[in-house]
Chains A and B, each alone.
Chain A
Amino acid sequence: MGKTRSLLIISVFSSAVSVIRLLGSLAVIYLGLGWKVRKARRALEKELRKAGMSKEDARRIGAQYTALKDNAVKAIKRSVTGFRFS
């Protein structure tokens, strides 16, 4: 009986560790996303400027890339917060 209980406690503890690890990984991904988007946007703008586009126009087009990220993040947030057990 004592053995079963200790096994149960270990299982619950390792489950909690897994959940914390998952949340931590998601937080790291979320924090790194902004940096990745900035780098991608700069690369996009650089290519556009190479083709002879003005800086302002390239920036305006690059802003759409950030909008894509914002929309994706909003969609994920809404799907997570809107999740209900039926």
Chain B
Amino acid sequence: MSEKPEKKKIASEDVEELKEVLSAVSTEVPALIKSIIASVFSEEAGRNMGKAAAAFYKELKDSGMPDNVAVKMTEDYIGVFTSLGDILKRVGEGKEKVIITRGEKGKEIEEEIERRIKEKLAEKKKTEAEEEEE
């Protein structure tokens, strides 16, 4: 008999909790999205990106690059941001997993770092031994 009021109490507590969560989400999530959008899609962000691209283009032109090549390179420079959008698109699709793999080159770098660290350690030990002998 006493189980029913207990269950009702738990249910009302859950609803109360859900109300609080939804209230927080409805204020926090739009603010978060707004700030993310403002950092990428705002007049200020566009102007800054334009300034960077314009400086890049100007440098290329000043160094004697033909106009069409300079434009193409500037397009590629801006395209870096678009490719970021492509990554987002792929993640959204969920068809391709975006995994940063080390690959062959990564392994080579890892081996090189390991070898150099070993060399440095051996060198250090050698100098310490020499100092002790002296």
Contacts and interface: CB of A to CB of B under 8 A. Distances in A.
B15 A12 contact: yes
Interface residues of B, number: 51
A29 B19 contact: no
Contacts, number: 156
Contacts of A67: 82, 85
A46 B19 contact: no
Contacts of A14: 19, 23
User: Which 6 pairs from chain A and chain B are nearest by CB?
Assistant: A47-B50, A40-B46, A75-B92, A71-B85, A51-B54, A25-B30
Interface of B: 8-9, 11-12, 15-16, 18-19, 22-23, 25-26, 29-30, 33-34, 37-38, 40-47, 49-51, 53-55, 57-58, 61, 71, 74-75, 78-79, 81-82, 84-86, 88-89, 91-94
Interface string A37-73: 1011111111110111100010011001101111110
Given A53-B57, A75-B92, A82-B92, 14 more contacts: A11-B12, A11-B15, A14-B23, A15-B15, A26-B30, A40-B46, A41-B46, A48-B50, A61-B71, A71-B89, A75-B93, A78-B89, A79-B91, A79-B94
